[in-house]
Structure formats: C-alpha cells, structure tokens
A and B are shown apart, each in its own frame.
Chain A
C-alpha cells in the first residue's frame, strides 16, 4: 500500500510533464501508425492505368490489378450468356478483354472504356469491373490523354456552346 501511495504521489508531482508526454505520445503513435499505413497502402494498393500498348511494353505481370483504358473496337463485342468479350484498342495495339456481368448502359463499340482487372497468362484481359460513365459525352480523362499522346484523338467532347 505504501509503495502504491508513493507511486501515486510521484505521479501527481510529475503530472504536468506526464500529461504533455501522454498527449504527445498518443499523437505521435496515431500519426506514425497512420503514416506507415498510408505508405504501405500506397506502395501495394494503387492501381496503374495503362493503354494496351503500355500494358504490353511494360510487361505487366499477369495477375497484377491494373486499369486498362482505350476504345472498344468496332464490331468486337460478343456475348455468350453472361460473359462479354470485346477488344480494347488504342489505335496501335489491341487487347482482348472479357467481362462477366452486365456492362454499363453506355458501354458502346467505338467509345472510350476503362476496365479494372488483371491480365491472364495468355495476354488477355479479364475485367472485374467496367467503369460506368454518367454522360454520353464523357470520356475518361486518362483515355483522352493516352489517345492524344498517340495522335488518335480526333473529336473534342461536344460541350454545349452556351458559355
């Protein structure tokens, strides 16, 4: 009991310093933990965006999650049951892609598409998700950039001319 009492007394005397230390300690702990988590997650959990040409040029490992962007090649979309097959092209390279499920309403041949998924060992792309677009004029920015970069970009998005 006496030992405890003494310890309590010491704590009370050091209290101001201890308070500061505890607050700063908690601060450092949480911030440090968060920083470490963010860094780890940024290293492991980000998904790179590639056009078919880049995906092949960079030799993306099969199984690595990527986003593939380009145009859906005209006449390439077929469906068997719930499996959709289509070809993503950037004008230079074509890549066969498949997707099981219901494609977004605005998925169209000849239009831009961004698909999330992985490459298979035989160089095809298996999409787990095809991103929806909210607007028929809308083209994913990455697709526009990569098309512009290889001179495939002809049309500007039709913006209403009021402004």
Chain B
C-alpha cells in the first residue's frame, strides 16, 4: 500500500510539474499571483517526490521483496545502511534520487527566491518544472522503481557487492547535489535569455547556486575518487575513465562559471559568456548523466546501466541542450555586452582563468567522446586513456596554476604587475625553498616531480600571501594587522582557502604519482616484505563470517620506519546471495601517506599473491578537495545573508579588494 502511495505521489509530482511548466511559461509576467502559485507548486513537488522516495526507502528497509526493485537489489541480511543505500544503487532508484534533488533545488529557489523579481522567478521555476516533468516522466515511463512482483519472492538478489560500502551512502548524493544544482544556473540563464534582462543583480542571484553546486560536486568527485581508490583495489585514485570525466567536465565548467560570475557581479562584464557557461555547465551534467546511465562507454565504474534507455536520455539531452543553444543563438544579441577592460586587471586574470578552464573542459570532452564518434563513423573501437589526458590536461593546467596566485592580487580595472611581483616574491622564494627541501629529503633524481611540487607550493603560499597582503602584515603594527585580518570578509578567507586547497591537491597528486612504490609478491604466512622502510609481515589467514558474506581475513603487521607496529586486515569476501567475490584492501594511514595492501587468491602451494603499495602524501589529494569544499561553505555562509537582502547594499566593511 505504501509503495502504491509513493507511486501515486510521483505521478502527482509529475502532473504538477507539467502544470507548473505550462502555467509558468504562458503567464510568466502577468502577475505576482502566478509566481506565488509556482513557488507553492515547487514546494509541493518536493514534498511529493520526497514522499515517493520515502516510500521506496521504507520498502527496502523492511525488505519488501514484492517490490521488484528491492528484490533485484537488496537482501534481508544486508546491514540497515546498505538496505537504505540499495535504493539508489541501481538505475531506477538513482533516477528517483536525481529527481528528488532536482525538486529539492526547485523548492530551495522557491523558498529563498522571494527577493527576486516575480517575472524572473516565474521563468526560473517554470524551467525547473519543465526539467522535473522530463526527468520524473522518464523515471515513471521508462524506469519505474515502483513495479511489484507477483508472487513476491522470499529473498532478494542482493546489492552488487562492490556497492555494499559506505561510499554508496556518500558519493552519489553529493555528486547529484552538484550535478543537479547546476540546473538552477541553467534555469536562470534561460530566464535571462527569454526576458532579455541580465545585469549584475542576475549574477548575484546565480552565484550562491553556482557555489553550492560546485561545492557539492567537488566533495562528490573527491569522495568518489577515494571510494574507487580503496574499493577497486588497484591503488589508483583517478583513471580518466569516461564516467569520471563525466563528473569532471561539469566541475571544470562550473569552476569557470564561479569565476566569471564574479566578474559579472562586480564589473557588469562577461555577461554573454557567463550565460553561455551556465548553459554549458548543466549541459555537461546532463551529458554525464547520459554517459553513465546509458552505459554507452566502457568504464571501470559501469553500474546499473541499460542501453535501451540511453536513447530516451539522449533525446532529452538533445532537446534541453539544443533548445538552450538555439535560444542562446537567437537572444544573445539582445544582451548588452559589457565594456572592454585592461588585460592586466582582475577581470583580465579571471578571463584567463576561464580561457584555460574552458579549453581544458574541451580537451576532456574531445578525449571522452572521440571513441564514440570514431566508433560511429568507422566502426573502429579505440580507447582514449590516461596518456591522452595527462598530456593535454596537464599542459593546460600548468600555466593556469602558475598564473593563479597573481589573480587575487590584481586590482579591478587596471593592475600593477611590478608591485604584485614584488609582493609575491616572498611566496615564490618560500615555495622554491620547500620544493628543493622536499626533493632533497626524498632523494629525488632529476625529474618533473620537484617542478610539480614547486607549482603546488607556489599556489599554496601564493594564496596565503593574499591574506598577508590584505592584512598589511609587515607594513602596519602587528596588532593592527591582526585586527585587519579578523575583520576581513569571509569571502577573502574562502578565496585563500580554496586556492590553498588546490595547491594541496597538486602536491598530493605529484608526490603520490612520483614516489609511489609498488610490489607484487607471493607471500606465505610468516613472510615479511620491506617497502619504503615499512616492514610488512603476513601473519596468516582466518575465516570470518560477515552479515551477508563469508570473508577470509588476511592479517598483516605493518612496522613503520619510526617504530610502532599496527595490524591491518585485508579481506576477500564471497557474498552469499550472488556468489560474487570482492576484495577489501587494507589501508593504513601514516601522516598523510598510506600503506595499501591487496590480498589475492591462494595459490596451489598455499601462498597468496599480495600487492603492496606505499603511497606518499596520497591523502593530500582528497584533503585539498575537502579544503576547497570547506571554502565553498564558508563563502556560502556569508553569501546567504547577502542574498536574503532585498536591495544590494554597498558594503561598508573593511575593503577587501
């Protein structure tokens, strides 16, 4: 009964979204009453889809296998957490999660959008309604999660064991918050194009939504990367796999959007480009959804895909993206372009940032879609792997990172390069010193690694130098400098923190790639191996039953170079319901570095193949991303108050720029 109610709620939400879209587009400018209706409708859609989702969760939690979806993807022995995450560990349920987050954002706009002009808000909500209609319709008609089975089976087929992990609880919701959040920017862009009105205020309304989506996407990608790292057992954290690229492209475009919206808000320039980026970013999110959901590309992360539905998503993709670009082509002229500015200025630096980010997005897009195009044209199957992306992407990122610390130092309108070079000299010297120190301590041979470290340190110290400069350390008495520092607006901190985080990630990437050590050995119980100063002893194997699997625990004793022994357990599991084996790596963290042990199958002579890695500073990769996301939240906490303010008031606080 509850399932039918959930199904009905989803149908109602679909109907309501269709009505919202029609009413919104037809009567958008006529009266504030229409906008009020649309706002209520958006909130109601959220309640309805939320109810539908709750019904699904309930069925999974009580293991109601009369629900076909629960039968296929759940099992009564699964721990409660995995019963809940099983809801979106499959195609149908993850589409419903997509829709849920879409209506969540719609409801958020409705709730917080009161200060917006009513006709603009009407257009935004109508556009959201259209998207809800499309995706809720897609879910209902092609991937209905509410199908019943008669007779109901006694036991479920279990969730894919690889997905039975805390990662499934964290990664997809965060990623979808990011992906789908950009739909708001998209709707704002469409609204701007239709109404032909776009100004600094528009950018101020769009920025919080860009920021929140970007923040969640950053977290989502980082958590997905860490999940793949520990779960796939290859020790890799990024494979340039199509599915990864699918989430990375919106991130790159979203990062560009985040920066171009600043120019638009502060200087009323780059309007057309910002609107274009808003459309591109969400289009890439849609493309990502299509690539992942259709299974059209061979991926190491293929899950729950169904090619037959791919065509429907492709059609929706074509309609939304094609429609948006047609509208853009028709209306872009109506938007008045902002004035030119001096290339050596904050605006100029942000344009450069956008140029590199957009080009990098293009390069990743080419590499991701090239196999598809070649296959369609010639039938030749190829794969574009890491070497392609390493070459093209890093060639574009290196100049961006070199230039990054200069940006925040440049003044609006016209910057003074000589002065900035002087002010950044300290950071540069410090970065050089640190890079040489680390390289010397690690005994690195001549390679690119020290240069990569230099780049990372440069970005980190350059970011800190910005705060030092703003607080006028060294030029004012120290107490006064600290007062200035604490008086700085939060956005100053978030800029510094985000750029600092970027530097941390770069250091992690360089160190983990350059100084990783790996060994594949056959080990018998009692054997020890030494890797990077760590002594790893294989103590033996025990059988341990799990809730819905049988596991072999391989116990290892890891002795760190500085002394101290820890026990680590690498597992091999066989899941009861599916008979599918999985391995769980043993990962021990020492400072920022990790020792990673993967246990292989037992050989005829009783030995085990064991793969050992030492990954220096690998956790910095994700830590940097967390810092970036933290910066996003800090900025958001400040920004929210400003968005709620009906009229933009000139800030009278400490001048930040």
Contact = CB atoms under 8 A, between A and B. Distances in A.
B147 A105 contact: no
Contacts of B582: 105
A27 interface: yes
Interface in A99-141: 100-103, 105-106, 114, 116, 131-136, 138, 140-141
Given A34-B362, A41-B388, A81 B598 contact: no
A138 B160 CA distance: 11
B391 A41 contact: yes
Nearest to B303: A134
Contacts of B295: 141
Contacts of A92: none
A30 interface: yes
A31 B359 contact: yes
Contact of A134 (B162, B297, B360, B603): B162
A160 B343 CA distance: 58
B384 A46 contact: yes
A158 to B, nearest CB: 11
Contacts of B144: 163
Interface string B5-49: 000000000000000000000000000000000000000000000
Contact of A41 (B143, B160, B296, B392): B392
A102 B392 contact: no
B72 A160 contact: yes
Contacts of B149: 162
Nearest to A149: B379
B302 A47 contact: no
A16 interface: yes
A4 interface: no
A47 B381 CA distance: 9
B112 interface: no
Interface in B384-403: 384-385, 387-388, 391-392, 395-396, 399
A133 B24 CA distance: 45
Contacts of A138: 302
A162 B395 contact: no
B21 to A, nearest CB: 26
B557 to A, nearest CB: 21
Contact of B609 (A40, A82, A135, A160): A82
A102 B359 CA distance: 38
B160 A134 contact: yes
Nearest to B141: A163
A138 B382 CA distance: 19
| Max count, chain B CB within 10 A of own CB: residue among A22, A31, A82, A116 | A82
B520 interface: yes
Q: Interface majority SS on B: helix, strand, loop or mixed?
A: mixed
Given A49-B382, A134-B301, A30 B355 contact: yes
Given A23-B351, A142-B298, A162-B147, A16 B340 contact: yes
A81 B295 CA distance: 36
B143 to A, nearest CB: 6
A47 B392 CA distance: 16
Contacts of A146: 381
B356 interface: yes
Nearest to A80: B603
B468 interface: no
A16 B342 CA distance: 8
A48 B387 contact: no
Interface string B58-69: 000000000011
A30 to B, nearest CB: 5
Interface of A: 15-16, 19-20, 22-23, 26-27, 30-31, 33-34, 37-38, 40-42, 45-49, 67, 79-82, 100-103, 105-106, 114, 116, 131-136, 138, 140-142, 145-146, 159-160, 162-163
Interface of B: 68-69, 72, 92, 142-144, 147, 149, 157, 160, 162-163, 232-234, 295-298, 300-304, 306, 340-343, 348, 351-352, 355-356, 359-360, 362-363, 366-367, 370-371, 380-385, 387-388, 391-392, 395-396, 399, 520-522, 578, 580-583, 598, 600-601, 603-604, 607, 609, 611
20 contacts: A19-B341, A26-B352, A30-B359, A33-B395, A34-B362, A38-B392, A41-B367, A46-B384, A48-B382, A49-B382, A82-B521, A105-B581, A105-B582, A114-B298, A134-B300, A141-B296, A159-B306, A162-B147, A163-B142, A163-B144
Q: Nearest 8 CB-CB pairs, A to B? A: A162-B68, A49-B381, A102-B600, A45-B387, A45-B388, A160-B72, A81-B522, A22-B343
